Each structure stands twice: as structure tokens, then as C-alpha cells.
Amino acid sequence: MRIVDLRSDTVTLPTDEMLEAMRNAELGDDVYREDPTVNRLEKLAAKKMGKDAALLTTSGTQANLVSAMSQTTRGDEVILETEAHMYYYEVGAFSALGGLIPRFVKGHMGVMSPRDIEQVLRPPNIHFPPTSLICIENTHNRAGGTIWSPSNIKEVSDLAKTHGLRVHMDGARIFNAAIALGLDVREFTRHVDTLMFCLSKGLSAPIGSMVVGEQAFVDRARRYRKMLGGGMRQAGVIAAAGIIAIEKMVDRLRDDHVNAKTLAAGLSKIPGITVDVARVQTNIVVYDVAGLGVDGKSWVAELGKYGVKAGAQEYGRVRMVTHRGIEKEDIEYALTAVEKATKDILGKKR
């Protein structure tokens, strides 16, 4: 059976060029800072993002955690969007390991307004944990790959400065935002203090995320990465693929966005399925199957019978993500499968 895996862009496999580069990478012990390929990747990532320095981490989760730990003190409060990945999908690491307390602000399509953030800022008071960091997510995963524009970021950054707070961007998919708006990625990074981005999602590298910011921050992040067991030795094997990810895999994200829009438009025509097509700004499509009288989990199981894989969320929400390896024909196949699965479900109910 044909398999169309739309669960996530994390399922992308390395390109042949990446595998070749991994095989030929110049290596050394990166804990001693002697791996030339890692050093090259870190320099490249910092330059791309217009910051001083960068650090290769094992995953996006580790990157976010070391970023938060490196600019807070245990017991601090951190402002997060209600559905932030850092809160929702990172095993509570920033609280469990970082000792941080989340303070939530509901965003509009994942984007928090400075006004709403200001409302939750608390004056110094013996009763309150001090707030030190605002985290934003770009693109916002659970909102459906939605973009924080450079002006949205600047507004929040200005507010943060006024209150002496720092801003971290979970930019796991920041290149998707840049490609979608046709802007240099630095437009998105100039107003944040720190960010992380993933090499292992749409950019197709097998492993790794980068933490980026000023030198003193990256030095602290390096210590925390070691503390968390993320000090890797001949990590040039990973970095070699990462270099190709940054240099060669960014522009093709455009295709994923076109495919996501086609998918959303097709889904919107299928009775029982609700999707806000305007919300589809990058490579993530979140739609609703509650109209079919099923929950997300049973829907995903029905669709799976046709080889199409999707991710179930709450309240009948389903996520599909486009990525390298998903072609126009796969989208057509997926849409046909969705139609068939809908009929199967409605048939069973009769």
C-alpha cells in the first residue's frame, strides 16, 4: 500500500548529499571544541541568524531547555503562549529541570499581543516570582504553523525591553516563516535575544537543532547542554548534514507551503471537515473532523487504512504536515483517501 506520511516534517530522511557529507566529515572531539565540522556549522548558523554565536544541540527540546535555563534563575516566571510547544510537548522540562514557572498568555493564531502580555506582568512584590523571559514560537505549531511577523516580534521585544525582560524565540520552523513572507531570516531574529531552530524538520537533516544568541549566552548554554548529557564527541557527523540543511534546503520549503495550501483547499470541500484555509500560512494544516461525529484518534485510524498518516489532537482536531518527500500527487492521493474515509465513517453511522 502507498504510504503518505503527513504526521510531521520530522519524518524527513537525509538527502544523499547529506549522507555523503556525513561519511566524509572531518571530525574531532567537540567537547574539547575540536570538531572542525561542528565549529563550521556553529559559525554558519550564527552568521545566518545575524548573532554572535551558536551551539549544536541534540534536539529542539534540548535547545529550548538550555536557552531558557541560560537566561533565567530557578524560581523565575516565564511568559509563554497557552499552547506553546515548550509547555505542551517538552515533558515539562523547563519546570522539572529548569525550575521555571509558566505564565500563560492566549495568542491570536499563536501570536501574543503586547497588550495581553503587559496585563500579566507583575510588579516586584514579595509574593510573586520574578519574571525574566518571554518565549515566542515561530512558526507556531499548535496554532497551525502560523507566523509571527517581524513587526509582531518587534512590538513584544520593545515591551520586553521596557520591563527588563529577555525574549527567546522557539524558531523550530523559522525558515518556513522567512520563506512564506519572502524575507531574510534576520528580519525575524533581530528583535529577539536568543532563538533556536531545528535542522531536523523541513530542512531534512537527521539530527540536531541550533541555539543562537550573544557569546556569553551561548557559553552558558554550552555548560547546560553538557549538564544535560548533550556534550557530544565526534558530532561533526551530524553537523555535516546540518551545514547542507542550512545552505541548500531552505528554498524548497516553498514547495511544502504550496502543497499545504492545496491540501487545505481540498479538505475544505469535503463535507464534514472544517478547515480555516486562511490560517494555512506555512506547511501545517490543522482541521476539524468533529462534524463527522468522530474524535481525532478514530479519524486517524480510519484514514490510516488507506496508508495516509496524520496526527490526532483534542476536540476532533487533526494535524497534517507537508515536507520533502511529499509531492503534489501525494496530496491528491491523501485527499482521495480523506474522501473515502469520510464515506466509511458516515456509512458505519447509518
Binding site for ligand TLP (CB under 6 A): 8, 10, 59-61, 64, 85, 89, 137, 141, 170, 172, 198, 200, 209
- The answer to whether 275 and 294 have CB atoms below 8 angstroms apart is no
Q: Quote the CA–CA distance of 171 and 107 in Å, as a whole number.
A: 16
Q: How far is the CB of 8 from ligand TLP (least distance, A)?
A: 3
Strand 53-57 vs strand 209-213: parallel, antiparallel, or unpaired? Answer: antiparallel
Q: How far is the CB of 321 from ligand TLP (least distance, A)?
A: 7
Q: Which of 326, 262, 319 is nearest to 11 (CA)?
A: 326
Q: How far is the CB of 348 from ligand TLP (least distance, A)?
A: 30
Non-local (6+) Cβ contacts of 268 within 8 A are 275, 277
Which residue number, 137 or 155, has a Cβ lying nearer to ligand TLP? 137
Q: How far is the CB of 226 from ligand TLP (least distance, A)?
A: 18
Which residue number, 48 or 319, has a Cβ lying nearer to ligand TLP? 319
Q: How far is the CB of 7 from ligand TLP (least distance, A)?
A: 7
Strand 317-321 vs strand 311-312: parallel, antiparallel, or unpaired? Answer: antiparallel
Which residue number, 97 or 198, has a Cβ lying nearer to ligand TLP? 198
Residue 269 dihedral angles phi and psi, to the nearest 5°: -90, -5
Grid coordinates representing 303 are: 484514514
Q: Quote the CA–CA distance of 94 and 84 in Å, as a whole number.
A: 12
Which residue number, 142 or 191, has a Cβ lying nearer to ligand TLP? 142
Q: How far is the CB of 62 from ligand TLP (least distance, A)?
A: 7
Please, which residues bridge with residue 319 across strands? Answer: 286, 311
Which residue number, 37 or 282, has a Cβ lying nearer to ligand TLP? 282
Q: How far is the CB of 132 from ligand TLP (least distance, A)?
A: 20
Q: State the alpha helices, DSSP H only, in the chain.
A: 16-24, 36-49, 60-69, 85-88, 93-96, 114-120, 150-162, 174-181, 186-189, 215-227, 236-248, 253-268, 296-304, 328-349
Which residue number, 64 or 189, has a Cβ lying nearer to ligand TLP? 64
Which residue number, 85 or 324, has a Cβ lying nearer to ligand TLP? 85
